[in-house]
């Protein structure tokens, strides 16, 4: 069973960071003791005197961590900092009281502090004993300071307050580092989840746009198939069914959110055009011009299919004259490539009104291109002198 905090998150999910930061802080503290021992004094005595403080301090730092675990992750940083400040103050007071309580148990370390006054006197402190040597040859004046346990209650309270202030800043410093660390982690996690959500939204958009293609294409193809059956061209209808089966088996096996090479996309369009050639064997002429150096560039799967379909619908189906559909690709100087679909329109048919349509095909293409490549891509289409042309300009990206 996993323990949960008020916000529903697992408790102690960041325990590794907490333990690591606590260890670093107390290693720094021990390091300062080692430096102090190296400057003079008994290393063993210094460490043994500070050992209760170190052990208790580690436990108290862990208690501050536990106190902050009770706060919901969604709470404002000000609330979390307030909890940390209160816990640090309580821990500091506890640490100060421990120092006062264990003071009588400390052993002498032999450390000696020597200061020469301006008047020439030498002041030497060793433990609780202070010696003042005014002139050489004279007996030094010796004073013995009272131990902490020998102070009156007011002095003990003052010493406790002084120690608590020092330790409060120590615990508060660790709390600040901990809060900064988890805040940075939360920000990074939020950015990661936003990036994942954005990627998922883009993938969903691409899937939705991609799935618009198949019903649109199937509707027109079934109409063509129906016309073949009604006119008694059963053999051509059977061949079209086989070609249709091959096309859908190939296209539906692709992941809608993935891309394919331009060579694979051209192969898919060739399958589609084979279906349409069986419908218009005398009228449809196809030309494909794709250089080898662009055959491996990545394009959204079936991105050309609605454009080729429109070329058939608005070009070939409007006339009994031959119509050429050209699929081409060319490299630009800016690191992008232009994919073009061009269909001719016979002169005798130029003045005939174009058949009405919903515009689904070109809208689909432009939206899919924008979803895949953003503002790096362009989508241009319109009438030209000898027909209609669609240009898709996309970055050249290879696997």
- Return the CATH number at 363: 3.30.565.10
The answer to whether residues 264 and 186 belong to one domain is: no
Quote the number of domains for the chain: 2
The answer to whether residues 105 and 57 belong to one domain is: yes
The answer to whether residues 165 and 239 belong to one domain is: no
Residues spanned by the domain of 338: 233-395
The answer to whether residues 293 and 240 belong to one domain is: yes
End-to-end CA distance of the chain: 45
Q: Which pLDDT score is estimated for 74?
A: 60
DSSP for residue 334:
T
Sign of CA dihedral 5, 11, 17, 21: positive
Domain end among 193, 224, 254: 193
**Residues near 305 by Cβ (< 8 Å), separated by ≥ 6?**
213, 217, 251, 268, 269, 272
Q: Which pLDDT score is estimated for 7?
A: 47
Residue at 167 is within a domain: yes
Q: Which pLDDT score is estimated for 301?
A: 81
Residue at 128 is within a domain: yes
Q: Which residue has 């330790």 as its token pair?
A: 167
Residue at 160 is within a domain: yes
Contact at 8 Å (CB) between 19 and 26?
A: no
Contact at 8 Å (CB) between 368 and 302?
A: no
The answer to whether residues 286 and 378 belong to one domain is: yes
Residue at 208 is within a domain: no
The answer to whether residues 144 and 260 belong to one domain is: no
Helix axes 153-230, 43-69, angle to 10 degrees: 50
Q: Which residue has 């409060």 as its token pair?
A: 168
Residue at 253 is within a domain: yes
The answer to whether residues 189 and 237 belong to one domain is: no
The answer to whether residues 165 and 249 belong to one domain is: no
The answer to whether residues 160 and 289 belong to one domain is: no
Across the 399 residues of the chain, what is the mean pLDDT of every consecutive 10-residue run?
49 83 92 79 71 91 89 72 92 90 71 70 72 73 72 83 93 93 85 78 61 61 79 81 80 71 91 82 91 93 85 81 93 93 72 51 81 88 90 90
Residue at 53 is within a domain: yes
The answer to whether residues 43 and 154 belong to one domain is: yes
The answer to whether residues 237 and 366 belong to one domain is: yes
Alpha carbon distance 4, 303 (integer Å): 48
Residue at 249 is within a domain: yes
The answer to whether residues 38 and 92 belong to one domain is: yes
Residue at 273 is within a domain: yes
User: Comparing C-alpha atoms, which of 301, 295, 231 is closest to residue 262?
Assistant: 295
Tokens read off for 303 = 């991105």
Q: Which pLDDT score is estimated for 8?
A: 47
Beta-strand (E) ranges in 86-234?
Answer: 112-116, 122-126, 129-133, 141-144
Contact at 8 Å (CB) between 301 and 256?
A: yes
DSSP for residue 105:
G
């Amino acid at each position: 069973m996993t323990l949960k905090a008020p916000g529903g998150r697992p408790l102690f999910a960041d325990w590794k960071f907490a333990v690591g930061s606590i260890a670093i802080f107390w290693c720094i503290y021990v390091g300062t003791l080692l430096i102090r021992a190296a400057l003079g004094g008994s290393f063993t005595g210094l460490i043994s005197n500070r050992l209760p403080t170190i052990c208790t301090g580690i436990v108290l730092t862990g208690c501050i961590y536990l106190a902050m675990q009770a706060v919901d992750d969604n709470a404002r940083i000000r609330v979390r900092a307030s909890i940390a400040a209160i816990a640090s103050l309580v821990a500091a007071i506890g640490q100060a009281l421990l120092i006062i309580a264990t003071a009588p148990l400390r052993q002498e370390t032999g450390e000696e502090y020597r200061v020469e006054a301006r008047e020439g006197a030498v002041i030497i402190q060793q433990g609780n004993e202070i010696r003042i040597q005014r002139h050489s040859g004279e007996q030094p004046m010796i004073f013995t300071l009272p131990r902490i346990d020998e102070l009156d209650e007011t002095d003990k309270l003052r010493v406790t307050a002084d120690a608590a202030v020092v330790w409060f800043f120590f615990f508060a410093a660790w709390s600040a580092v901990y809060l900064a660390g988890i805040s940075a982690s939360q920000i990074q996690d939020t950015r990661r989840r936003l990036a994942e959500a954005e990627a998922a939204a883009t993938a969903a958009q691409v899937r939705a746009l991609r799935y618009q293609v198949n019903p649109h294409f199937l509707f027109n193809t079934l109409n063509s198939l129906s016309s073949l059956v009604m006119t008694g061209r059963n053999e051509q209808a059977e061949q079209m069914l086989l070609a249709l089966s091959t096309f859908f088996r190939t296209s539906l096996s692709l992941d809608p959110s993935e891309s394919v090479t331009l060579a694979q996309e051209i192969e898919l369009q060739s399958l589609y055009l084979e279906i349409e050639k069986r419908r218009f064997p005398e009228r449809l002429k196809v030309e494909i011009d794709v250089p080898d150096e662009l055959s491996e560039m990545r394009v959204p799967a079936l991105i050309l299919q609605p454009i080729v379909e429109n070329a058939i619908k608005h070009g070939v189906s409007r006339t009994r004259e031959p119509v050429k559909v050209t699929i081409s690709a060319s490299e630009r100087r800016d690191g992008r490539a232009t994919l073009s679909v061009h269909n001719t329109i016979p002169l005798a048919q130029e003045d005939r009104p174009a058949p009405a349509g919903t515009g689904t095909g070109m809208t689909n293409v432009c939206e899919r291109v924008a979803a895949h490549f953003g503002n790096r891509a362009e989508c241009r289409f319109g009438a030209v002198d000898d027909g209609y042309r669609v240009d898709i300009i996309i970055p050249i990206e290879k696997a």
